[in-house]
Structure 1
Amino acid sequence: MSTQDIQQNDNPAEVYERYLSRPIADPWTRVLIDLANPQSGERVLDLACGTGSVARQVAPMVGSSGQILAVDINPAMLQVGRAQPQPAGAVITWQEGDATKLNLPDKDFDLVLCQQGFQFFPNRLASAKEARRVLREEGRAIISVWQALERHPLHEALFTAVAHHLNVSVTDVDVAFSLSNPDELYALLHNAGFDRVETTTRSLSIRMPDPEKFVHYSILGAATSVPAFASMCAPERLALVEKVEKATRLIVERFTYGDSVIFPMEANIAIAT
């Protein structure tokens, strides 16, 4: 499929939900929740909720006696999240907010979950302190971040090609992989005031449909959070996609099996109490 066949007015938040959240965020949410072990009646904060994968999967676990607040700085992501079918269990409240300065009371939550958000926060320590502040005394925070870009060869090829064509450093576009050192994650939470911090690693095999759209939708989905993409207009992004598709065609084909792109992704996950 050529880029001419793809609508220029694709909404990045809708693309994120349809093409990135379902095959990537949803299975990783199950890993996060397994480590968090939410209990019936708990009050949960889904920080940097995106389109709400975590919030929707937690809702049945905390039940109708529980409460879920889904917070994100991007109103378009919240709008898409609200439009999804809502699950049984706790009602999800959607709220626009800045993770570095939450407009929330102290000690209000039993559980803070943040899936692939901390690496995007402009002040990570301030965000970690806010997560600590809003937790009750016996509360816990479970935070996941991707391991290093070089552990993800398909994305490494994608972002290297993007950086080359934009004439910028790879670090300007690979923000999603920028908090990959588990010692840095540990220190961040320890310095924020958490008493006990443990880190663990997990790996999943990801299956994404429509290999011919992988580059386009990966770049468009990144426009929800990466400034280098968000600042581009639709025609500029399409022009970039055409160049990057050519540069990455061989490696995308190497990870293509039938009608899907299948590749591993690895994350560091912190459990802080």
Structure 2
Amino acid sequence: MTMTKRITFAERYQSVLVPVIFEPWARELIRRARPQSGEHILDLACGTGVVTKEIAKQVPEPCRLSAADHSPDMLYVARSLARKAGFEVEWVEADAAVLPFADNSFDLAICQQALQFFPDKLGALRELRRVLKPGGRAVFCVQREMAVNPMLQAQAAALEAHVGAEAAAAVHAICSLPDSSELRDLFEAAGFRGIELESVSLELEHPDAAAFAAGAMGGMHTGDKLAGLPDGAIDRAVQAFLTGLGDYLEARSLRFPHVSNVVVATA
């Protein structure tokens, strides 16, 4: 009997969400961070390692790359991809508020779409400042509110209608730190200086809207909410998500704005 390999949420996240959302944001953050040859760079809450992969492709001379995430499943995928691509990274399983690095270790830290999920946001930023060298840079992006992110609006509405409030809450959590003043206050309280904060909108796209809708609903952070449903109920939820994206459909393809606050700060 042939055994079918179970696809993990981390693998689905990598195959569907990373190319559409996290690769474009990684390139945008790296453009702003301007990593230099020879720097020690931290990818904080690295997920499947998209930032480290982009830096390895863009920086012409070797730099030292470290990456930390609390999810062993995400790190497993990240390590596998790095081995295939042939670049070296120090992968570390760690809580962002308790980083296993010495003081003054890093020249640059990049963190995309994760600060809103940290249980101790201020503690994590203080810990990051500890491990950054004096004058080291931190570059973050944090999702803005649901009202300016129509893809997330459509996803939350579909989950609310077909799965329930708890499932919809997993999407609302992505937009749980939208206020620029609160973000600035967090970085100031952690001791960062020279804080620059800007609302940035990227135009994101996928050639197959139906494939994206199915993958996004089955990936982080909502896949576990659908896992116990019968196939018909999952199909209805995915179709409702796709219907909610109607204004952003172009034939079979999908194009939508994705809006975040970008923070650049100095330790």
Match of 2:105 in 1: 108
Structure 1: gaps of 5 or more residues: 1-6, 224-228
Gaps of 5+ in 2: none
- Which residue of the partner structure matches residue 168 of structure 1? 165
Residues 240 and 39 of structure 1, relative CA distance in 2, 3 Å threshold: farther
Q: Per the alignment, do residues 159 and 240 of structure 1 end up closer, same or farther by CA in structure 2, a change over 3 Å counting?
A: farther
Q: Deviations over 1:19-54 (max 9, x none)?
A: 110121111111101110111100000001011110
The answer to whether the Cα contact below 8 Å between 1:215 and 1:244 also exists between their aligned partners in 2 is no
Sort the Cα spacing of 1:108 and 1:90 in 2 relative to 1 into closer, same or farther, 3 A.
Answer: farther
Q: 1:161 to 1:108 in 2, by over 3 A?
A: same
2:19 maps to what in 1?
22
1:252 aligns with 2:252: no
Q: Cα offset for 1:267?
A: 1.3
Q: Which deviates more, 205-214 or 48-57? A: 205-214
Of 186, 193, 196, the match for 1:195: 193
1:205-216 alignment to 2 at 5 Å?
205-216=203-214
One-letter identity of the residue aligned with 1:104: F
CA contact (8 A) 1:46 1:71 kept: yes
Which residue number in structure 2 is paired with residue 265 of structure 1?
258
Distance between the aligned counterparts of 2:86 and 2:195, measured in 1?
Answer: 30
Aligned-partner Cα distance in 2 for 1:55–1:44: 9
Q: Does the 8 Å CA contact 1:56/1:87 hold for their aligned counterparts?
A: no
Cross-structure match for 1:3: none
Counterpart-to-counterpart distance in 1, 2:47 and 2:230? 21
The letter of the residue matching 1:76 is D
Identity %: 34
Change (3 A) 1:251 1:29: same
Q: Is residue 2:116 matched to residue 1:122? A: no
Q: Distance in 1 between matches of 2:230 and 2:76?
A: 23
Give the number of equivalent residue pairs.
262
Shift of 1:202: 1.6
List structure 1 runs of 4+ shifted beyond 6 angstroms.
Answer: 87-90
Secondary structure at the residue paired with 1:10?
A: coil
> For residues 183 and 117 of structure 1, what CA distance do their matches in structure 2 show?
18
Q: Give secondary structure in 2 for the equivalent of 1:138.
A: strand
- CA–CA distance in 2 between the matches of 1:210 and 1:220? 16
Change (3 A) 1:87 1:235: closer
- The residue that corresponds to 2:227 in the other structure is 234
Once residues 133 and 120 of structure 2 are traced to their aligned partners in structure 1, the CA distance between those partners, rounded to angstroms, is 22
